[in-house]
Structure 1
Amino acid sequence: MMGHLVVNASLALISVVAMGCVEQGYVQFSGAGGTLAIFVPTRGGLVIAADMRQSPGGIFCDGINKILLPRRPRTAVVVTGNITLQNTSNIPKTDLCDYLAKNRAPIDFGRSALEFLDSTSAPFAELDWAALTDHIYESIVPYIKAGNLNPFFGTEIAQIIFAEFEPDTQTSKLLSLAVKLDPVGNFGLQPLPVTAATTIRGDSFHLHSDRQILPFGEVPYYQQHVIAGVGQQFLTQDYFDLVGKSKVADVDPGLASAAALNLISAASKATDIVAAPSGIGGGESAVLLATETRRL
């Protein structure tokens, strides 16, 4: 039944039933994704760093900006997992990166997130996530019904991380939402825990909050092979200086950006030794959400 919302009080699971008949001869969509992103709250804003590689069909497409900035100030979006979904079955692998760069994907979770944010002036704490669910549902339901997304049934397709910095309160805010299809193709958007203090509205980090280094995307790889594995050899003093800080108030944005970019670089170099499940690399980018938003 289209448009039906189901809410589960555990962490406000919002799902939309999108069942339909599968047409014979349907085309299966494939995903383009693979991301490691690091978020670090500081006393002067929120630092976000990410790699710049997508991995459609095992091909590496580099130089992809993954930190998306809407028109509203001091806000950013990062999508991990499958950032876009589309039919690339007839595209030669040698042409895949060029094709993705020049052709708008019918399902693009980053684009949907930016459109949602740009459609409202509501404060971050009052954003209507059910409206976002409806917006993404409208873009995805035709392809669920057509059978294009059958390979993704029963999986978490992507995570959409929303971030904002409030200069008046010097507070960094994060909300991570999982895009899911259940085993029969029902669509859901569910808040995910980021810290032990996660609520249905996400996480807030004040000056007196504990220092945080928050990875998203290839988190198991980051934990096993970057900060506790072969990637350790590529970590600089900036990272260890950041780890030594106690509270958000102790963290300077310059140190946080240097350490976050170092972590992305170390992960990229680690993949040359131990391959990650999806591509990590292709360059590093960073943004500081402060009184003004700055690309670093």
Structure 2
Amino acid sequence: MSSTAFSGAGGTLAVFLPTKDGLVVAADKRQTPRGIFCDGINKILVPTGLRRTVVVVTGFISMQDTSNIPDAELCKHLAETPAPLDFGRTTLSFLEAHRVALKQFDGQAFTNRIHADIAPYIQAGNLNPFFGSRLAQIIIADFEPDMKSSMILALGVDLNRDGAFTLQPIPISPRTTIHGTIFKPNDDRQAIPFGEGAYYGQNVIAGVGVRFLNQTYRIFLQKEKISVIDSELGTSVAANLIDAASRATEIVPAPSGIGGGISVALIADDVQFLK
């Protein structure tokens, strides 16, 4: 195995918005390897055999050696060449093999699977430049129609300064546990960002991005509970937040690219792509 350092392809803003009808998920469609924009990439992944589950990976979605790929060919190469490390591919494979709802998710088994994938490349030195950083966030979400509740499990893929690997839950709310966070109809309304979260807070719902937030977002802010937000409003708001972020980056660039289109899915009785 080569000891050449890997580079990462990633950079994402995703918004998860629980409604009384289902969980809305919106994401941009841009990856930014080596500062180059690769657009039109769907980042909302749906595992085969699970009707009400989606996966989104932010940060470095995939990692490989692209040092010999010219800039002009990089996007085509990434689209056509499977990466040695692909956190989305691994997560889908794990979910498809186990086929259980998120509340039965085996976090230790998943940690072992990610570690088995990543360990050879840590040992070979491919990931030395990433020691002391978070490689990616893996977000798995589903919806329970009977209870009308949304569940989100966010996991950080981390390497410490010595290259030791950990996979740990990311707190979303004070109710977050190692199994994730459940959002019920009587809970306060939420629009939960992943990926460029700091940029989202400073430049989308505040700062330059406010001018791009439309009337549906203002209506959303007036709602207090998830139970009074339907999927139509949720879809409109989530898409508007991604669009506002994309437009804000034209004024204040984000650390990684945001843009390239918008994907929106509703998790209800099944997963429906609405955009």
Give TM-score, length-normalised by structure 1: 0.91
- Determine the structure 1 residue equivalent to 2:38: 61
Paired with 2:188 and 2:76, the residues of 1 have a C-alpha distance of 43
Structure 1 position 266, deviation (Å): 0.6
Alignment of 1:162-241 (within 5 A): 162-241=140-219
Query: Could you list the per-position Cα deviations for residues 212-264 of structure 1 after superposition, in whole angstroms to 9, with x for gaps in the alignment?
Result: 11011101101111111111111110111111111110001011101110110
- Determine the structure 2 residue equivalent to 1:294: 272
Q: Output the amino acid matched with 1:261.
A: A
Structure 1 position 82, deviation (Å): 0.5
Q: Output the amino acid matched with 2:109.
A: A
Q: Output the amino acid matched with 1:213.
A: A
Q: Out of 71, 93, 96, which is 2:71 matched to? A: 93
Give TM-score, length-normalised by structure 2: 0.97
- Determine the structure 2 residue equivalent to 1:30: 7
- Please report the RMSD computed on the Cα atoms of aligned residues, expressed in angstroms: 1.0
What count of residue pairs does the alignment treat as equivalent? 273
- Determine the structure 1 residue equivalent to 2:47: 70
Q: Output the amino acid matched with 2:26.
A: A
- Determine the structure 2 residue equivalent to 1:131: 109
Q: Output the amino acid matched with 2:4.
A: V
Structure 1 position 26, deviation (Å): 2.2
Instruction: Check if 1:44 corresponds to 2:21.
Output: yes
Structure 1 position 123, deviation (Å): 2.9
Look up the SS of the partner of 1:85 in the other structure. Answer: strand
Moved over 3 A (4+): none
- Determine the structure 1 residue equivalent to 2:256: 278
- Determine the structure 2 residue equivalent to 1:150: 128
Q: Output the amino acid matched with 1:135.
A: R
Identity of aligned residues (%): 55
Look up the SS of the partner of 1:40 in the other structure. Answer: strand
- Determine the structure 2 residue equivalent to 1:20: none
Paired with 1:233 and 1:138, the residues of 2 have a C-alpha distance of 46
